[in-house]
Each structure stands twice: as structure tokens, then as C-alpha cells.
Chains A and B, each alone.
Chain A
């Protein structure tokens, strides 16, 4: 599935009537501050119901207005429309009908956003990598969505209860903690099993993809790192439960749950050593791309939609070879949106690409080919 056209109404500095896109490659050229990312942000919001820039989606409304909207037309002639209101949030419409849950959006478009910060997926905190895995799970197994949200709720309940226990106010004693732990283990086991499935499905692909981007023999490996020993994949819940029991005294001191999938990580190694400690910027970037690409394309096998790549100023810091290889990879695997500040960054432009120029803020104009 790809994006055929977008319409932006009072969205940031844009007011655009129906901008048609190429199903293959779209290049957006413009100076800083002219709104290249805004265009990608609009598409992103239609894939996730939120922005990659801000938590307050109302910031996307044009300054001084009280409502804005983004509409996408997709290649199967369906449509997504997100209406943003200054005081009352947003509503999401799919083919004109209101969607009840934002997570229902995740399975319409397979959007992969790669921005300047995406390096953090390799370099940054483990929570980012967990989010990445969990998003992949929600896309692949939508029924897991509530398991994931319920799990984090249970962890919060446990945190509050540990505080109560420490202050001596808890009447339920350890029996309630037992109940919480059993539930945490049950849901946690499912989450870890799904995450392992995700990691299994991208493992080889990440290595291959990295080699293609870097054009060398370097070896990138990803592995699931759990905060508890996994003895038997069929019985992960049991391992979590045992670890929760043995960590209980420590948890009661720290008032935190120190084991469980919310403490797990995805480790990324380059030639056998942790890349976040020893890798260069370019290497970490490339590894991030390899992971994002692999996640997007591995889900294709399960009958998932062809990805839509939104690449936002993300080729900076990459050498010309990596840039070229990466662009080729993205082109092969899905619809490609790319923002650049100048044509110098591009190398050769494929004749099939649509090139949009932002000569003034918020006004993209398609350049005639030839």
C-alpha cells in the first residue's frame, strides 16, 4: 500500500490542495524552515495518530488557527483523514468513518520514519529499542496491543503497591504482590515470546542489510537480551515468575520491578563488540537503518503491506557510498519519501522520481521531469 496523494489544511505552515506522489520515489528539496519535515509529519500522523516531533498534536495546527487536518489518499483508493482540534484533540477517519482506537491505524499503512534522531535506536536508552520491538508486535499481532498496555499498567500498580508495602500501610501483604507477579509473568511471557519472534525474523536480515549499506564485510548482530534467564522458550512466564520471586526483596527495597520485559533490551553488536560503545556515528546510523529496514520488510512475509519510508534529513553523516546503497535498498523495498536541503546531497536522481521544490515556506511545487 502506498500514499497516492496528500492534502494538508492549516497544517503547520502548509495549506496544500491534493499533492500527488509517485508510488516509487519522492524527493522534497527545500531550505531549512521551509517545511520539508512538515510534509513528512503529515503523512506520519496518518500512520500513527501522533507526531514524531511533539506530544501535543495541537502544535501541528497552523499558528493562530483552531483546527487543521491531513488527508491521505492511498493506492487502494481508501483514505485516511486526521482532524486536529486545538482544544479537543484529534479524530481519525478511515474512509470517512471514525476509528475507535488509534492502534487500528497501525495496520493500514506500514510507515517507517527515519529521521535525524533514528541513530538513537542503536545508541540511546533500551526503552527506545523496546518500543521499536513492541510496535513491530502490535503491527504483526494486533491482539497483543492490549497485552502490552495492560502489562505496563500492572508494572505501575506494582510500583504503587511496593511503596504502600514499604510504608507499612498495605493490608493485602505479600498475597496481593503474588497476584500481581502472576499476572505480570503471564502477560510478560507473551510479550517476550513475541519479541523473540520479531528478533528471530530480523536477525539474518539485519546482518545482510548492514553489509549492503556499508559495502564491506563487517558483521552486525542483534540479539534479545532479557533481564531474567530464559531456560525454555515455551515457558517464559515461568522464568519471569521465578525471577520476580527471587528479586522480591530487592524490589521491595528499590520500590521498583527490576526484572521483566520492561527491563529487557535488544543488543546490537558490530564484529562481536557492542556497537553503542565502540561504533562510529556512521556505523551506528547504518546499523539503525539496517534494523528499521529489516523490521519493515520482515513483516512483509506475513502478508503485511509494502512499507512507506519517510527519510527525513537522515542521510547526513553518511558517506556517499552508504548513502547510495541505502537509497537503493529503500527503493527496492517500498515507497520512498526523502527530504534534502540541496541537490548536492542526492547524487543521481532516478527518472521515475517526483521532485518537489519548496521555493517558499509551505508551498511545494512539483518540478517537471526532463
Chain B
């Protein structure tokens, strides 16, 4: 017999599906909600439904948006001749927060990993190719910003091979040391990469 009423138990199970949330945290969140007044819980529930109803992937770049197309694709000031390809929306937000990039994006929706059942067809790669061939004005540069790990690197290479015939400049974001970091504490692989990829000042 569970210590909680059935509906509470079910709510806990739902919270446990969230990434990074275990049984303990799920219980805490549910107990927190039970303590709140009704308006808070209602607003919360409505917000979730509203969010789900209005937010959808941008048909151009697959960033999330509640408009017809996302604010980046819709903007007049963005440089539409550069596309930065990222794995997930979270990566896009990270690059956006640097304020250093004024081009547009393309969110792949993951990385290729046959081992985990993700294939090129499961990602928005065809859409990217389509987008490039149809683009007006012409795309000048594709910046590949997948994560620097086994799957990210292989996906990047796959993209390069796919894009090569289109004859546009393909670049990858640099890898190396974190700003404000300390050589002594850098992991050896990153440091090795930083030395390999050094450049004249």
C-alpha cells in the first residue's frame, strides 16, 4: 500500500519522467504543489497547456517558436547568408546568449547514432539541404556547431560530405580552452586539441 493517495502517487510518477528528477525530488515538487493555493496551480496547469498549444518548431530552422516562424528567421537584421547548424534548441540559445553571431540557425534535432537508433533520416538534414538550395539570397557559409564528441563529430563529417557538392564554405566552430581557464587544470584532450588547432596571431 502506498503512503499517498492514488492521484498524488500518479502525479509523482509524472514528475519522475522529467530529466534529472528522481523519486525524492518528484515527491517534493508534488507536496509543494499541494500546499499552494488553487490559483497558482490553475495558472501553472493552464500555462503548460497554453505552451504546448502555441509553441511549435519553426518551419524554417526548427527552433521553438510561438509565431508562424521564429524571431530569428523573421528578423530583418540577421545575416541570412550564414547558417549555424546545431544539435538542439539549447545549443542555439547558448550561442545566442554570446551575442556574437548574427546569422541564422538550423536545429538538427539530435545527432546520428545508429547504435541508439538515430539515423540521418530522423534529423532535419533534408530540410537543411532544401533550405540551402532554395535560399534567396544565396547561402555563403554553413557553420557546423555539433558537440565535440563521437556522435557530434561523425554527424559533422556526414553533413560536410552532404554539403560539399553544393560548393559553399563549410566551417566548424573552434575547439580548445575555455576563456578564463587555466592551462594547468585543462583536461589533456582539450589541451592537445588546442595545441593542434593553434593559429597565428
Contact = CB atoms under 8 A, between A and B. Distances in A.
Interface residues of B, number: 22
A146 B189 contact: yes
B192 interface: yes
Given A143-B192, A150-B150, A175 B115 contact: no
A328 B168 CA distance: 66
A175 B191 contact: no
Contact of A183 (B120, B121, B154, B188): B154
Interface string B98-130: 000000000000001111000111000000000
Interface in B60-109: none
A142 interface: yes
B144 to A, nearest CB: 12
A172 B120 contact: yes
Interface in A149-201: 150, 153-154, 156-157, 160-161, 163-164, 169-172, 175-176, 178-180, 182-183
Interface string B177-192: 0000000000011011
A143 B161 contact: no
B114 A160 contact: yes
Contact of B162 (A160, A161, A175): A175
A176 B120 contact: yes
Contacts of A172: 112, 119-121, 158
Contact of B154 (A143, A157, A170): A157
B153 interface: yes
Main secondary structure of the interface of A (DSSP, over half): helix
B119 A143 contact: no
Contacts of A183: 150, 153-154, 157
Given A160-B115, A171-B121, A176-B120, A143 B157 contact: no
Contacts, number: 62
A182 B160 CA distance: 12
A56 B113 CA distance: 29
Chain A, interface residues (CB within 8 Å), range: 20 to 34
A191 B154 CA distance: 18
Given A143-B188, A143-B192, A180-B154, A175 B161 contact: yes
Interface of A: 142-143, 145-147, 150, 153-154, 156-157, 160-161, 163-164, 169-172, 175-176, 178-180, 182-183
Given A143-B188, A153-B150, A157-B154, 15 more contacts: A143-B192, A146-B189, A150-B150, A156-B115, A157-B113, A161-B114, A171-B119, A171-B120, A172-B112, A175-B162, A176-B119, A178-B161, A179-B157, A182-B157, A183-B150
26 contacts: A142-B188, A143-B192, A146-B189, A150-B149, A150-B150, A153-B115, A153-B150, A157-B113, A157-B115, A157-B150, A157-B151, A160-B114, A160-B115, A161-B114, A164-B119, A169-B119, A171-B120, A171-B121, A172-B112, A176-B112, A176-B119, A176-B120, A179-B157, A179-B158, A182-B157, A183-B154
